[in-house]
């Protein structure tokens, strides 16, 4: 290729450059950003079609679609960043239908002044996560807003997937007597992120659990095709997810505090901040509900997958017109695990 | 976690439960008021009632500083940001508390007020240092536990001549509130047999300030730690005092509380604060000598003097039973608004605004009890 | 009221009047302005970023022993 054929005579200065308004204006600067940053890292056949949409033949079966906006602050946190998080988050939302995720679409809102080096780091992380998961980003969009109108970078991802025949997983299918399982320790993501918020000021080795769970889900569905419910306990934590499922299915729940896996560091950080680990976010864990006779086979399938090693049966669904999630406390008493009221804020008293 | 997990041990809890069951005399009711919201929270969060004999009952007290803050003070804080353009720093607990017109700091912030959440008074000082052009006001709230950190900040600000920092002081004192409840001669005054005394307040003021309780009111007090085993052991100590007709101040929380308290913290408070003649407590009314203002020698750091804003009327929602609940006269479920108009998402009364308020703790952790008790065939 | 939690002092910065405290794998800076004579290894009660008091280990042991004793005589009976 001759020199004259290069689209952009000067390469994007990723080391020292920053996003400016021209990167969102639809002109050459935007085209260069898309080429040298997004396409370069996220490269795949469908993205290379170069159109405003990706064209593909859907595989047979029922399709699911899900979308998720990511606005996390800070953008980089122990164990991940907004790039991989935006891939994992949407893959997980698709996978919670028991689906095999196929493709992702990504929309970026960039704040004027964002260092291109940070953006490159986010996009590279996204590409790594998408490659590792085998779920390519096949189309995307970029907008730039003036300084102060966003917080560095926001990413919205949309995913499509296909649900295998014979699998019907939905939040309204829990029945009294069903067993409730979690795939591992609760609250890691939220604590890792909080540890980096400037005013909370504590240090811990805990890293975000951000991970794509479709492999784990595939192993679970293969072992127990009749799983009733799957959901990833993200914002609002385990407590919120259980309350959502209880309400959707019209059941109560009875869980045991001593059975819920929580890292000691997460417990300690929550003690310091006056928070409850059951309300702290996860990004690589799931809650499963299945018939009682399926619980042990399901647990075995989870234990044999790297992302389910810490899985545990934590309780069961009950008949309860009030749809309470109740818990036997580690102390030996009984209490409700309620919906989160307001925001999970550090408490002094 | 040493000194934390040890005091949440289930097998030790069973032992205490057995001792309580054996020692609480049949045919007699023991009504024990836990003064602090910290106790209320622990009782509900760990399900301590399930381990207590039925005739030993906890009566929830007013010891939650967020709950007793009058709504007019929230309105004043919002007015500070709006009429004086100050940057208001506050602990997270206060953010969602609605003021008189149901506006909270969180809502004021959404409408443009400069409100910042801080974890420590040191964060507020740091904010003032970093922004010399802004007038930074720390919204100080809390009992004697939370007062010394404010005292340290006042002293530091004066030493550093931090001209853009000041404190909006709402610190209140526990003994006067306890006295008010015990002295109530209202016809509906609750009969309390004994008091679980403040835990972390007492680490600062010591156990001596409660000696008026056995002396003037003939009720036993046990200073009680906040972990669930502390609460149970303190209840047992009260049951024993009552059985033996003793009436004294005992200290269960000896690992952190001494009779004289933290002298260094007390000296700092004496230097930086002065007693207010009276102060309004939400639910209890105006109580004499029950709160602190900033000492005259620190007047430059007093936001109330620097940025005068009028103190409006505190308004309460009609039908709210918080005043009776705070005094232990009524239970949360006795209130018509409880769980209908008033929930933690949309608190009407003071006991619902903080997770340590009796109504919020009852709603969040314990509302299954009343419901299931009325449904035969269900395990309570 | 008044959330406070015991944490172990692991390092002291005398010049800044601060300590690093540790609690179950989490560490944090706290002010020592309200306490005297704190040494590494001590446990302090942490409240809103300040060490409020020192925990007395002997008293803690004594309290636990009393609790353990409370129901011991009734062991086996229900």
pLDDT digits (tens, 9 = 90+) for B203-255: 999 999 999 999 999 999 999 999 999 999 999 999 999 999 999 999 999 99
Please report the pLDDT score of residue B345 as a whole number. Answer: 86
Query: What 3-state DSSP class applies to A135?
Result: coil
Split at pLDDT 50, 70, 90, the class of B380 is very low
Q: Does B177 touch chain A (CB under 8 A)?
A: no
Residues C8/C22, Cβ–Cβ less than 8 Å: yes
Is C5 at the interface with chain A, CB within 8 A? yes
Q: What mean pLDDT is predicted for residues A263-292?
A: 94
Mean pLDDT of chain B: 92
Write down the domain spans for chain A: 10-163, 179-336
Q: Which residues of C touch B268 (CB under 8 A)?
A: 33-34
Statement: residue B125 has pLDDT above 50: yes
Does residue B376 carry a pLDDT above 60?
Answer: no
**pLDDT for residue B317:** 83
pLDDT for res C29: 94
Output the pLDDT for position A345: 61
Residue B10: list chain A partners with CB under 8 A.
330-332
Residue predicted with more confidence, B3 or A8: B3
Q: Are strands A153-163 and A100-111 parallel, antiparallel or unpaired?
A: antiparallel
Query: Angle at Cα B109 formed by Cα B106 and Cα B111, nearest 5°?
Result: 115
For the segment A87-116, the average pLDDT, to the nearest whole number, is 98
Q: Which of A203, A206, A332 to mutate to test the interface with C (most CBs of C within 10 A)?
A: A203
Work out the pLDDT band at A348, boundaries 50, 70, 90.
Answer: very low
Flag whether residue C71 sits within 8 Å of chain A, measured between CB atoms.
no
Cα B299 to Cα A192, A232, B40, B131, distances in angstroms: 42, 53, 37, 22
Cα separation of A182 and A286, whole Å?
6
- The answer to whether the CB atoms of B47 and A326 lie below 8 A apart is no
Q: How confident is the model at residue B187 (pLDDT cuts 50, 70, 90)?
A: low
Across the range B318-343, mean pLDDT stands at 89
ipTM of the complex: 0.94
Q: Which residue has the higher pLDDT, C2 or C68?
A: C68
pLDDT of residue C1: 46
Distance, CA of A204 to CA of B5 (rounded, Å): 19
Please write down the HEC assignment for all residues of B229-293. HHHHHHHHHHHHHHHCCCCCEEECCCCCCCCCCCHHHHHHHHHHEEECCEEEECCCEEEECCEEE
CA distance C58 to chain A (A): 23
Q: Which class is domain A179-336? A: alpha beta
- Find out whether C57 and A301 touch, Cβ atoms under 8 Å: no
At residue A164, does pLDDT exceed 90?
yes
What per-residue confidence (pLDDT) applies to B354? 85
Q: Which residues contact B207 (CB under 8 A, 6 or more apart)?
A: B197, B223, B249, B251, B257, B258, B259, B261
Q: Per mean pLDDT, which range of A141-150, A339-348, B144-153, B176-185 is the poorest?
A: A339-348
Between residues A262 and B354, which one has the greater pLDDT? A262
The pLDDT of residue C70 is: 85
Min CA distance, A318 vs chain C (Å)?
29
What's the gap in Å between the CA of A111 and the closest CA on chain B? 21
Residue that is written with structure tokens 């995307």 in the block: A140
Closest in C23, C56, C71 to B15, CB measured: C71
Which of C3, C11, C16, C26 is the mutation pick for testing A, counting most A CBs within 10 A? C26
B12 and C35 in contact by Cβ < 8 A? no
Looking at residue B377, what is its pLDDT?
Answer: 44
CB contact under 8 A, A331 and B14: no
Place of tokens 């890293």: A207
Pull the structure tokens for residue B306. Answer: 């620097």
**What's the gap between Cα B163 and its chain centre?**
31
Q: Hey, is A163 helix, strand or coil?
A: strand
Homologous superfamily of the A10-163 domain (CATH): PurM-like, N-terminal domain (3.30.1330.10)
Instruction: Specify the DSSP element, H or E, that contains A87.
Output: helix A82-95
B87 pLDDT higher than 80: yes
Contacts of C60 in chain B (CB under 8 A): 3, 6, 255
Tell me what percent of the residues of chain B surpass a pLDDT of 70: 96
Residue A342 has pLDDT above 70, yes or no: no
Q: Report pLDDT for C78.
A: 44
Residue B107, number of CB atoms within 10 A of its CB? 17
Top-confidence residue, A25 or B208? B208
Search chain C and give the residue with CA nearest A272.
Answer: C5
Is the model's pLDDT at A144 over the cut of 60? yes
Q: Please give the Cα distance from C12 to C42 (Å, whole number).
A: 11
- For the record, the structure tokens of A292 come out as 């009682």
Q: C20: distance to nearest CA of chain B, Å?
A: 15
Say which DSSP state A92 is in: H
Q: Give the C-alpha separation, B143 to B61, whole Å.
A: 14
What total number of domains does chain C contain? Answer: 1
Q: In what order do the strands lie in the sheet with B115-117?
A: B115-117, B87-90, B136-142, B165-171
Nearest to A202 among C3, C27, C48 (CB): C27
* Chain C residue with the nearest C-alpha to that of B266: C34
C30 touches chain A (CB under 8 A): no
Residue A54 three-state SS: coil
- Which residue reads 């804003």 in tokens? B309
Output the CA torsion A241→A245→A247→A248 (10° steps): 130
The rounded mean pLDDT for chain A is: 93
Q: What is the DSSP letter of B338?
A: B
- C-alpha–C-alpha distance, residues B99 and B73, integer Å: 8
A272 vs C31, higher pLDDT: C31
Verify whether the Cβ–Cβ distance B46 to A329 is below 8 Å. yes
- Radius of gyration for the alpha carbons in chain C, expressed in angstroms and rounded: 16
Q: Which residues from C are below 8 Å from B12, CB to CB? A: 64, 67-68
Task: Report how far Cα B5 is from the mean position of its chain's Cα atoms.
Answer: 24
Whether residue B379 has pLDDT greater than 60: no
User: Where residue C13 sits, what CATH number does that domain have?
Assistant: 2.30.30.140
**pLDDT of A223 strictly over 60:** yes
Which range of A66-70, A192-196, B314-318 scores highest in mean pLDDT? It is A66-70
In chain B, residues with a C-beta closer than 8 Å to the C-beta of A329 are 45-47
Candidates B256, B269, B282, B355, partner chain C, best to mutate (most C CBs within 10 A) = B256
CA distance linking residue A76 with residue A104, whole number of Å: 21
Q: Looking at the predicted structure, is the pLDDT value of residue A2 above 50?
A: no
> Chains meeting B at 3+ CB pairs closer than 8 A?
A, C
pLDDT at residue B314, as a whole number? 79
Instruction: Give the residue among A185, A207, A181 at the shortest CA–CA distance from A195.
Output: A207
Mutate to test the interface with C, among B4, B6, B15 (most CBs of C within 10 A): B15
C37 min Cα distance to partner chain B (Å): 12
**What are the chain B neighbours of A267 within 8 Å (beta carbons)?**
1
More confident residue, B355 or B341: B341
- State the sign of the Cα–Cα–Cα–Cα dihedral A325, A329, A332, A333: negative
- At residue B352, the 3 state secondary structure works out as helix
Confidence (pLDDT) at A200: 73
Evaluate the omega torsion of the peptide bond into residue A305 and state whether it is cis, within 30 degrees of 0: no
At residue B36, the 3 state secondary structure works out as strand
Bridge partners of residue C43, in order along the sequence: C8
Position with higher pLDDT, A342 vs A154: A154
Substitution target from B47, B93, B130 for chain A, most A beta carbons within 10 A: B47
pLDDT at B63: 85
Given this model, what pLDDT does residue B92 score?
85
Yes or no: say if B95 and B64 are a contact pair by the CB < 8 Å rule.
Answer: no
Provide the 3-class DSSP secondary structure of residue B139: strand
**A35-47 mean pLDDT:** 94
How far apart are the C-alpha atoms of A125 and A72, rounded to whole Å? 15
Residues in chain B with CB shorter than 8 Å from the CB of C63 are: 230, 233, 252, 254-255
């Amino acid at each position: 290729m001759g020199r004259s054929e290069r689209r952009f005579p000067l390469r994007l200065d990723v080391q020292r450059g920053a996003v400016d308004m021209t990167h969102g204006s639809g002109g050459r600067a935007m085209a260069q950003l898309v080429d040298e940053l997004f396409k370069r890292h996220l490269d795949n056949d469908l993205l290379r079609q170069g159109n405003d949409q990706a064209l593909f033949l859907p595989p047979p079966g029922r399709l699911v679609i899900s979308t998720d906006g990511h606005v996390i602050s800070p953008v980089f946190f122990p164990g991940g960043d907004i790039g991989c998080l935006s891939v994992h988050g949407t893959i997980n939302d698709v996978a919670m239908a028991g689906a095999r995720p196929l493709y992702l679409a990504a929309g970026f809102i960039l704040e004027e002044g964002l260092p291109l080096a940070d953006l490159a780091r986010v996009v590279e992380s996204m590409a790594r996560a998408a490659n590792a998961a085998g779920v390519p980003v096949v189309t995307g969009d970029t907008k730039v807003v003036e300084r102060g109108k966003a917080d560095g970078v926001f990413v919205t991802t949309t995913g499509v997937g296909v649900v295998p025949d014979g699998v019907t997983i939905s939040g309204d299918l829990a029945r009294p007597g069903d067993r409730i399982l979690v795939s591992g320790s609760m609250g890691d993501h939220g604590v890792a992120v909080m540890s980096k918020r400037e005013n909370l000021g504590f240090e811990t080795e805990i890293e975000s659990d951000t991970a794509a769970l479709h492999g784990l889900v595939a192993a679970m569905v293969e072992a127990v095709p009749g799983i009733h419910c799957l959901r990833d306990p993200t914002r609002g934590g385990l407590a919120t997810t259980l309350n959502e499922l209880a309400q959707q299915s019209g059941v109560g729940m009875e869980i045991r505090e001593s059975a819920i896996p929580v890292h000691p560091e997460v417990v300690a950080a929550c003690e310091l901040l006056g928070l409850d680990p059951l309300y702290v976010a996860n990004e690589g864990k799931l809650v499963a509900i299945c018939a009682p006779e399926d619980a042990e086979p399901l647990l075995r399938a989870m234990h044999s997958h790297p992302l389910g090693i810490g899985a545990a049966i934590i309780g069961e669904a009950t008949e309860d017109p009030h749809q309470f999630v109740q818990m036997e406390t580690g102390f030996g008493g009984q209490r409700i695990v309620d919906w989160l009221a307001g925001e999970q804020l550090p408490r002094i008293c | 976690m040493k000194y934390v997990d040890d005091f949440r041990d289930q097998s030790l809890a069973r032992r205490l439960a057995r001792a309580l069951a054996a020692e609480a005399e049949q045919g007699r009711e023991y009504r024990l008021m836990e003064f602090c919201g910290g106790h209320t929270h622990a009782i509900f969060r760990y399900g301590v009632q399930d381990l207590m004999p039925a005739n030993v009952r906890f009566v929830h007290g007013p010891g939650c500083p967020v709950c007793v803050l009058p709504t007019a003070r929230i309105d004043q804080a919002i007015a500070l940001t709006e009429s004086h353009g100050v940057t208001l720093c506050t602990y997270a607990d206060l953010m969602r508390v609605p003021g008189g017109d149901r506006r909270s700091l969180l809502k004021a912030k959404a409408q443009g007020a400069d409100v910042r959440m801080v974890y420590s008074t040191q964060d507020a000082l740091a904010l003032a240092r970093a922004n010399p052009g802004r007038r930074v006001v720390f919204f100080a709230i809390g009992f004697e536990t939370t007062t010394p950190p404010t005292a340290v900040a006042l002293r530091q600000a004066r030493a550093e001549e931090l001209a853009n920092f000041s404190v909006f002081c709402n610190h209140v004192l526990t003994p006067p509130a306890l006295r008010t409840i015990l002295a109530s001669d209202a016809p509906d005054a609750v009969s309390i047999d004994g008091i679980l005394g403040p835990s972390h307040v007492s680490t600062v003021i010591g156990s001596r300030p409660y000696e008026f309780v056995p002396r003037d009111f003939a009720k036993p007090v046990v200073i009680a730690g906040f972990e669930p085993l502390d609460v149970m052991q303190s209840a047992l100590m009260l049951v024993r005092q009552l059985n033996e007709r003793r009436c004294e101040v005992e200290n269960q929380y000896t690992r952190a509380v001494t009779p004289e308290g933290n002298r260094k913290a007390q000296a700092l408070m004496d230097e930086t604060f002065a007693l207010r003649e009276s102060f309004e407590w939400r639910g209890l009314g105006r109580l004499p000598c029950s709160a602190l203002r900033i000492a005259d020698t620190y007047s430059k750091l007093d936001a109330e003097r620097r940025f005068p804003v009028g103190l409006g009327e505190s308004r309460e929602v009609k039908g709210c039973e918080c005043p009776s609940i705070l005094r232990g006269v009524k239970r949360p479920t006795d209130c018509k608004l409880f769980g209908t108009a008033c929930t933690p998402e949309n608190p009407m009364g003071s006991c619902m605004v903080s997770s340590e308020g009796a109504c919020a703790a009852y709603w969040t952790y314990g509302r299954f009890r009343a419901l299931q008790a009325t449904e035969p065939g269900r395990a309570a | 009221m008044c959330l406070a939690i015991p944490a172990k002092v692991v390092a002291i910065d005398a010049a800044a009047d601060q300590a690093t405290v540790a609690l179950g794998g989490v560490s944090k800076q706290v002010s020592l302005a309200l306490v005297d004579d704190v040494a590494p290894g001590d446990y302090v009660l942490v409240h809103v970023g300040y060490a409020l008091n020192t925990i007395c280990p002997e008293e803690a042991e004594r309290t636990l022993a009393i609790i353990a004793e409370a129901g011991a005589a009734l062991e086996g009976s229900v």
